[in-house]
Amino acid sequence: MVGQRPSSRWAVAALLCAPAAAFVLPRPAGGPPATARQGLHTDVPFSNPDHDLLVRVARGEVGERTPVWLMRQAGRYMADFRKYSDTSPFRERSETPEIAIELSLQCWRAYGMDGVIMFSDILTPLPAMGIEFDVIKGKGPVISNPPRDMAAVKAMKPLSDPAASLPFTGETLKALRKETEGRCSLVGFVGAPFTLASYAVNGAADKNCLETKALMHKSPEVLHALLDHLAQAIGDYACYQVESGAQVIQYFESWAHHLAPHQFEAFAKPYANKAMAILKAKHPNVPVIYFANGGSAYLENQVDMNCDMVCVDWKIDLAKAKRELGATKGVSGNLDPSILFGPEELIRAEVRANIAAGGGPGRHLLNLGHGVIQGTPEPAVGWLVDEAKTFRG
């Protein structure tokens, strides 16, 4: 029932927990107390034969079952997460490795997803380029110096040495790779150039993307220059994440729903392609996933992109998405996050239907069509992950 974690559903997830003997583990100052259930650390002997399943399926292999992780799987739906978010500002949490490591691992310890994704934000590299931001509770990101003319774009710094300008990202990923080695896959992520440009130019989240689209219409040369700068920076940042331990990189085009197909072709796709090509040139065996939120309306435009897998939202049938993308692209997605507010039977049935639409067990990467919604009942996430990991068709 909602509000209780079912004791009989966790045979698979329990493998991701430490031995039953209680022991105390180090935690960030002021963080939640450690428990034996949470005790996944490198000093605990553990091996998971499925540890690389997510990586293999993202590369295009057929897995023994369907791997699963969830966008925003680390988040405010978890009480343990709120113990940090209610007391520490966002950038303090995301840029302090000890806290970011803990927040990245909480959901994995609880539910045993096939991937741990670094707790961070797509805007994290912007200050290293000279664009400052803060995240205001209840309002979201706020950019203090929006680049809206060519002089501002030319004043931006290159992200030529992310290890020097963003050392906390590397420290977080290196520690997470130690925790997850031989146990599950480690997922890194970046914002795609158009999405980062939209936040930067708008100065905040804007449901109409007005400042960016005004720049697109009135001074497209400025927007193109900004996008090109961001594409190089994001490509370098993605390489840095891989070199720090990430095994898969997802590129988030979170604002794709603001674009008509021809605008996507002109302002999003070329720069996402450039950012992904930089990573592929340096690390060709690292799977790249591209997620255009709302981009299922023009999925055919994504068939030839420089990625191994396309993540799709829930506004397209998954079987249709697979047909449109063809044999050259893997598919990730695409459960409606709102089903996690439904009963257990519905959640499990939706997971089975998603796996069937994906071609059967092991033939796509199961995820939501967007992030876990704040207020989602914690047991619901467990039911989803458990069904994905146990269902064999």
Question: What CA–CA distance (Å, rounded) separates 129 from 148?
Answer: 15
How many DSSP H helices and E strands does the chain contain? Answer: 16, 9
Per-residue model confidence (pLDDT) at position 204: 84
Read off the amino acid at residue 231.
Answer: A
Range with lowest mean pLDDT among 10-24, 132-146, 303-317, 329-343: 10-24
Residue 42 has pLDDT above 90, yes or no: no
Helix (H) or strand (E) run with residue 372 in it:
none
Residue 16 has pLDDT above 60, yes or no: no
- Residue 217 structure tokens: 């219409």
Helix (H) or strand (E) run with residue 18 in it:
none
Q: Per the domain annotation, does 20 fall within a domain?
A: no
What mean pLDDT do residues 273-281 have? 98
Q: How far is CA 168 from CA 134, 149, 270, in A?
A: 17, 31, 29
CATH number for the domain that contains residue 107: 3.20.20.210
The DSSP result for 241-268, as a single string, is HHHTT-SEEEEEETTGGG--HHHIIIII
366: nearest Cα among 317, 312, 304, 296: 312
Q: Per the domain annotation, does 204 fall within a domain?
A: yes
Per-residue model confidence (pLDDT) at position 12: 32
What mean pLDDT do residues 247-265 have? 97
Per-residue model confidence (pLDDT) at position 46: 56
Residue 37 has pLDDT above 50, yes or no: no
Q: Per the domain annotation, does 206 fall within a domain?
A: yes
Q: What mean pLDDT value characterizes the chain?
A: 89
What mean pLDDT do residues 173-200 have? 97
What is the number of residues in the chain? 393
Residue 299 has pLDDT above 60, yes or no: yes
- Determine how β-strand 185-191 pairs with β-strand 248-253: parallel
Per-residue model confidence (pLDDT) at position 136: 83
State the residue range of the domain holding 89. Answer: 53-390
Q: How far is CA 237 from CA 82, 232, 241, 350, 359, in A?
A: 28, 9, 6, 36, 34
Q: Per the domain annotation, does 232 fall within a domain?
A: yes
Q: What is the pTM of this model?
A: 0.88
- Determine how β-strand 330-335 pairs with β-strand 309-311: parallel
101: nearest Cα among 55, 42, 51: 42
113: nearest Cα among 81, 75, 69, 65: 69
Residue 25 has pLDDT above 50, yes or no: no
Range list of β-strands (E), the chain:
115-117, 133-136, 140-143, 185-191, 248-253, 288-292, 309-311, 330-335, 365-368
Q: Per the domain annotation, does 41 fall within a domain?
A: no
Residue 127 has pLDDT above 70, yes or no: yes
Structurally, the chain folds into a number of domains equal to 1
Q: How far is CA 72 from CA 152, 189, 253, 303, 370, in A?
A: 32, 12, 15, 26, 8
Per-residue model confidence (pLDDT) at position 287: 98
